[in-house]
Structure 1
Amino acid sequence: MKTMKLGTSTLEVPVVAVGCMRINSLEKAEAEQFIQTALDEGANFFDHADIYGAGACEEIFADAIHMNANIREKIILQSKCGIRKGMFDFSKEHILESVDNILARLKTEYLDVLLLHRPDTLVEPDEVAEAFNILESSGKVRHFGVSNQTPMQIQLLQKSVKQPIVANQLQLSITNANMISQGFNVNMDNHSAVNRDGLILDYCRLNDITIQPWSPFQYGFFEGVFLGSDKFPELNQKIDEIATKYEVSNTTIAIAWILRHPAHMQPVIGTMNIDRLKDCIKASEVQLTREEWYAIFLAAGNILP
């Protein structure tokens, strides 16, 4: 699979990340086979969060990959913290405790990347900075990022945090593309012109922060998958037409649409199906034309002024 630099770091990562939120739906043998397939295909970047399966997903992953020092050096591990029951928590104590628990579950001594999961309005940037400094100096975390944050929220953190923010995990799919569509509709009197995220796409491009799209096949907020859905007949017709041209699946084209954007995003796929995993990975080999990218964008019901 093709690779890219993550943000401003020197970390070379696959252009498609493997999300592990649903790995607890697999039996042990299935999880082992899935992870091995990902590794065989060059997909060695695995995304976790301490809330996935209430921590069980990290434990299942570590067991399925048979974690040891040799294997650890061949993979890239990212996890997230900051969500607690009924609240978000970016306090120094919670970040440090969360990372220790994550490392224990993953049976590793370090994370390649730690993301702060969902903004905490009670955040004290100085506390985050202290936590990051401790994690970096101890070798427990090598790179840092955020998830679902706006430009101003990132700037607030960077008021105190010295480490570069290398990634921002954000919801994006062909049908959930407001961060793209608002850029087309500047000063227009329509819903697509509403700035809902502080122009986060442009901000991340300007500051070399890698956007990691999550739920790249979902419409709405986990309402369903748009591929094959009778709610999106024109979109599916167009995707199928282009998939036929490239002799790939519709899954491949949906990911290729994200990869075609010059922001150099790294979509996080959540499938636990081996065939769909391979289809997602194959997207790194497909370069959509400008005409095809826009045709898919419009077929999803997005508008151009």
Structure 2
Amino acid sequence: MRTIKLGTSSLEVPVIAVGCMRINSLNKTEAERFVQTALDEKANFFDHADIYGAGECETIFADAIHMSDDIREKIILQSKCGIRKGMFDFSKEHILTSVDAILKRLRTDYLDILLLHRPDTLVEPEEVAEAFDILESSGKVRHFGVSNQNPMQIELLKKFVKQPIVANQLQLSITNANMMTNGFNVNMENEAAVNRDGSILDYCRLNDITIQPWSPFQYGFFEGVFLDNDKFPELNKKIDEVAAKYGVSNTTIAIAWLLRHPARMQPVLGTMNIERLKDCAKASDIHLTREEWYGILLAAGNVLP
């Protein structure tokens, strides 16, 4: 498995992250097999959030991996906080309380990375800065990032937070690629020209913030997967052609498409299927040509001006 540096940190991470949002759909034996398969594939970066399964997913993961001091040093743990029922909450108190609960469920003394989840418009960045300082000085969190934030939201945090923002988790897939296609349509009077995210792709590249695409196989907002979907015949035909050339599955090509981008992204997988996990891991070894990358982009219905 190839690795990249996470943001401006010295932390080497695999190019894919294993998302654990659905691990509560597995029984104990299945969860153990899934986690061990990830480790066998050198995919030792596990992504969590305190809202996944109302915290149950972190507990299940800790049991499945048989958490111990020895195991802990071989894996990279990331979790997220800030979403509460009916609200978002980036208050100092909530961040600190959330991290303590996360650590207890994961049976560990520290997180490698903590991300702030959906943006809280009532955020007081001075409070976030205080929380981050406490978490860093206590050794409970080593690196910090955000999720679903635009450039100005990150800039507001950076005005007060001294720790580098190393990652930004954003929805991105072949069919949800506005952050890429918007750049083709600068100053044009069409729907594709609408800048919906403040040029977050370029901002993250300029500031060495690792983009972590979530839902890399989804279209819309959790409407379903585009692979083998009759709604996307041209896209699947093109992906299958490229997959046949490389002797891999369409799953592999969908992840390889994201990894081909020079932003050096780290897709977050959502699958709990062991064979799909293995297929995703194979994407680490594939480098699509420019023609293949653009061919897939256009087959998804995107149009070059």
Superposition TM-score tier, normalisation by shorter sequence = over 0.9
Secondary structure in 2 matching 1:131: helix
Deviation at 1:258, TM superposition (A): 0.1
In 2: Cα distance, 1:271 partner to 1:16 partner: 12
In 1: Cα distance, 2:20 partner to 2:123 partner: 27
Deviation at 1:104, TM superposition (A): 0.1
Aligned residue number for residue 87 of structure 2: 87
In 2: Cα distance, 1:302 partner to 1:180 partner: 10
In 2: Cα distance, 1:17 partner to 1:120 partner: 25
| 2:48 counterpart of 1:35 | no
In 1: Cα distance, 2:206 partner to 2:192 partner: 22
Residues 17-166 of structure 1 aligned to structure 2 (within 5 Å): 17-166=17-166
In 2: Cα distance, 1:288 partner to 1:279 partner: 16
In 2: Cα distance, 1:193 partner to 1:128 partner: 34
Residues 289-300 of structure 1 aligned to structure 2 (within 5 Å): 289-300=289-300
**For structure 2, which runs of at least 5 residues remain unmatched after alignment?**
none
Counterpart amino acid of residue 199 in structure 2? L
In 2: Cα distance, 1:229 partner to 1:41 partner: 28
Q: Deviations over 1:225-255 (max 9, x none)?
A: 0000000000000000000000000000000
Aligned residue number for residue 167 of structure 2: 167
In 1: Cα distance, 2:31 partner to 2:52 partner: 15
In 2: Cα distance, 1:185 partner to 1:106 partner: 45
Counterpart amino acid of residue 122 in structure 2? L
Counterpart amino acid of residue 38 in structure 1? A
Deviation at 1:20, TM superposition (A): 0.1
Counterpart amino acid of residue 37 in structure 2? T
In 1: Cα distance, 2:304 partner to 2:166 partner: 31
Aligned residue number for residue 204 of structure 1: 204
In 2: Cα distance, 1:272 partner to 1:31 partner: 8
The percent of aligned pairs where both chains have the same amino acid is 84
Aligned residue number for residue 3 of structure 1: 3
Aligned residue number for residue 215 of structure 1: 215
Residues matched between the structures, number: 305
Q: Deviations over 1:258-291 (max 9, x none)?
A: 0000000000001000000000010010100000
In 1: Cα distance, 2:303 partner to 2:131 partner: 44
Aligned residue number for residue 248 of structure 1: 248
| 2:9 counterpart of 1:15 | no
Counterpart amino acid of residue 40 in structure 2? D
Secondary structure in 1 matching 2:281: helix
Which portions of structure 1, spanning 4 or more consecutive aligned residues, are displaced by more than 2 angstroms? none
In 1: Cα distance, 2:290 partner to 2:104 partner: 46
Q: Deviations over 1:167-215 (max 9, x none)?
A: 0000000000000000111011111110000000000000000000000
Secondary structure in 2 matching 1:80: strand
Counterpart amino acid of residue 177 in structure 1? A
In 1: Cα distance, 2:52 partner to 2:125 partner: 26
Secondary structure in 1 matching 2:57: helix
TM-score (norm 1): 1.00
In 1: Cα distance, 2:171 partner to 2:303 partner: 19
Aligned residue number for residue 272 of structure 1: 272
In 1: Cα distance, 2:190 partner to 2:231 partner: 22
How large is the RMSD of aligned CA atoms in angstroms? 0.3
Secondary structure in 1 matching 2:213: strand
Aligned residue number for residue 261 of structure 2: 261
TM-score (norm 2): 1.00
Secondary structure in 2 matching 1:113: strand
Counterpart amino acid of residue 96 in structure 1? L
In 2: Cα distance, 1:261 partner to 1:100 partner: 36
Counterpart amino acid of residue 104 in structure 1? K
In 1: Cα distance, 2:127 partner to 2:110 partner: 21
Aligned residue number for residue 191 of structure 2: 191
Q: Deviations over 1:66-110 (max 9, x none)?
A: 000000000000000000000000000000000000000000000
Secondary structure in 2 matching 1:79: strand
In 2: Cα distance, 1:185 partner to 1:59 partner: 46
In 2: Cα distance, 1:113 partner to 1:191 partner: 36
**For structure 1, which runs of at least 5 residues remain unmatched after alignment?**
none
In 1: Cα distance, 2:172 partner to 2:149 partner: 13
Deviation at 1:303, TM superposition (A): 1.2
